[in-house]
Amino acid sequence: MFNGLWPAFDEAEVPIGSITNGVHGPSWIAREVVELARELGGDVDGDDTDELWPLVDRIDDKRLWELKRMLRSRLVEDARTRLAKSSAERGFARAELAWTETALDPDVLTIGFARRVPSYKRLTLMLRDPARLKRLLLDPDRPIQLVIAGKSHPADDGGKKLIQEMVRFADDPELRGRIVYLPNYDIAMAQPLYPGCDVWLNNPLRPYEACGTSGMKAALNGGLNLSILDGWWDEWFDGNNGWAIPSADGIDSVERRDDLEADALYDLIENEVAPRFYDVDADGVPTRWLEMVRHTLKSLGPKVLATRQVRDYVRELYTPAARTARTLNSDYAGARELSEWKQRVRSAWSGVRVEHVESAGVGDAAEVGATIDVHAFVALGELGVDDVEVQVVHGCAGPEDQLLDTATSVMDVSESYEDGRHRFDVSVPLDRSGAFGYTVRVVPRNAALASVSEMGLVAIPA
């Protein structure tokens, strides 16, 4: 997002970081999950649930599957009650509501989708091919059921239209036992919804998802995510904790992109998600599915928590900022000195140049264990060697001479001349074979800078 403000630096060096959101575990982990953890001897009181995740391997498959079915059954009962109430409020006569008593099935693969409904979250992507979705819902051997909830902003007419389209589809008498839309989405509805779903669906238009915390709440209860690689899922999907919906990035036509990504969604449900859910052993337990559930709980459980989020803020941002502030602002002299130094460096930076670079030790193809000696002749103008850091940025050479998988080595000054020119040297050990490339750059150096790219100043060979 911000690389354009630091065009001379790689994305990884942009001095704007990010902290991934988290959710409050005790609010969203089902009470039955917590009670089972206590039964196994886990100390899970309070906000710290770190002891919960290692206990997962101590639960046998049958007990874990019974727990998931119980949570699914509780969701079904809650959804039936809400369906009957909402249908009556929409004008259905009592005699027309008998179907709500048998809507959904506690033994059917349950996919949840619940969130606010702006257009980019694409509530109705699943409706791109209604006939195919209908076949998935009514499959005689491997059916699925969808529990959908959400709200649009009162002023968002587009979001309201998406909800209306979904409600019309769910009102089909042939389908309404397999797909339900629950209005008035709130915390009370969400608490049985997240634990009760086997799969959590998220299909935003990449890259507009800021984080997507609903899938985190599902993961805390062993729900497997089925999502576009965006937000937190792009960060933590590992191939075994759910499924990634392929994204048709780069296609200008919104309609074409939606068609392609909807097809990918249907394919995943039909060919991977449903077959694994219904692949059961002699005891009726889907062992391969439960392997993913266990992995999800152990790999994502500790990451999706707000306690982890707060720790990240403290360790990565607050503590370094406080340490620097204490150094600079104890008597404000440090802050004044840093400000004056920055002004001096900026005004003199036009005189900084990498005039010549030479190397010895390897050819175009590097061998593991070899060493390359790099020498750079640099003009600093009015600045001194203590004001800058001269670096060799080195890595694999790509097909278009770009540097890949880079590392940085700091060069030391070996000679200084009267005209403000200096020679810097470094020996770079090579830990990989193949095509090798490097470049030399000069950046400002000050212990109080947050990063070498903070000031946006860099000098490279002409």
Structure-block tokens of residue 422: 């200096």
With vertex at residue 237, the alpha carbon angle to CA 191 and CA 113, rounded to the nearest 5 degrees, is 35
Q: Which helix (H) or strand (E) holds 266?
A: helix 254-268
Tokens, residue 90: 């929409």
Task: Give the position of tokens 């998802």.
Answer: 209
pLDDT, position 212: 87
Indicate the pTM of the whole model: 0.85
- What order of strands is seen across the sheet that includes strand 412-416? 353-360, 371-379, 421-429, 412-416
Chain Cα centroid distance, residue 188: 26
CB neighbourhood size of 133 (10 A): 22
Cα gap 218→210, rounded to integer Å:
18
Among candidate residues 338, 236, 334, the one with its CA nearest the CA of residue 21? 236
Torsion of CA 185, 187, 188, 193, to 10 degrees: 70
Give the separation between CA 378 and CA 458, rounded to whole angstroms: 13
Residue 21 neighbours by CB under 8 Å, 6+ apart: 211, 213, 216, 232, 306, 309
Q: State the maximum Cα–Cα separation within the chain, in Å, rounded to a whole number.
A: 98
Reading the chain (462 residues) residue by residue, the pLDDT tens digits are 898 998 888 888 898 989 999 999 999 999 998 888 888 877 666 666 677 888 888 899 999 999 999 999 999 999 999 999 999 988 888 888 889 999 999 999 999 999 888 888 898 999 999 999 999 999 999 999 999 998 888 888 888 899 999 999 999 999 988 999 999 899 999 999 999 999 999 999 998 898 889 999 999 999 999 999 999 999 999 999 999 999 999 898 999 999 999 999 999 999 999 999 999 999 999 999 999 999 999 999 999 999 999 999 999 999 999 988 888 887 788 899 999 999 999 999 999 999 999 988 665 556 777 888 999 999 999 999 999 999 999 888 777 777 777 889 999 999 999 888 999 999 988 877 777 788 899 999 999 998 889 999 999 998
Q: Which is it for strands 109-116 and 412-416: parallel, antiparallel or unpaired?
A: unpaired
Helices of type H across 90-213: 130-137, 157-170, 187-196
- Describe the strand order of the beta sheet including 365-366 as a list of residue ranges: 365-366, 434-444, 388-397, 403-410
Delineate the domains of the chain, giving CATH numbers in brackets: 16-307 (3.40.50.2000), 348-444 (2.60.40)
Distance CA 103, CA 76 (A): 8
The pLDDT assigned to 403 comes to 79
Handedness of CA 131, 134, 138, 142 (dihedral sign): positive
What span, in angstroms and rounded, lies between the C-alpha atoms of 54 and 121? 34
Could you write out the three-class secondary structure of 408-435? EEECEEEEECCCCEEEEEEEEECCCCEE
